[in-house]
Amino acid sequence: MLIYRFLTGEDDASFCHKVTKALSEGWQLHGGPTYAFDAHNKKMRAGQAVTRPAKDQPYDPDKKLSEY
């Protein structure tokens, strides 16, 4: 099974740290980053999809992704 997460945040160093932490935990980048302007807050927002293989087990929507 492949687990999918979409990380989002303000386009700043904390977002880069969030992605770096995910990579250090075995997640892999899935596609390129996305950017959008948040007109309400007048800031750029960033997003990055990441995936990670998990042991063969049934998907449980109540389970935290970190528990796979």
| First-to-last C-alpha distance (Å) of the chain | 10
pTM of the model: 0.84
Query: What is the per-residue pLDDT across 10-65, written as a single tens digit (0 to 9) for each?
Result: 999 999 999 999 999 999 999 999 999 999 999 999 999 999 998 888 888 998 88
Domain range summary for the chain, segments of one domain joined by +: 2-55
Contacts 24+ apart (CB under 8 A), 15-19: 15/46, 19/48, 19/50
State how far the Cα of 35 lies from the Cα of 38, in Å rounded to an integer: 10
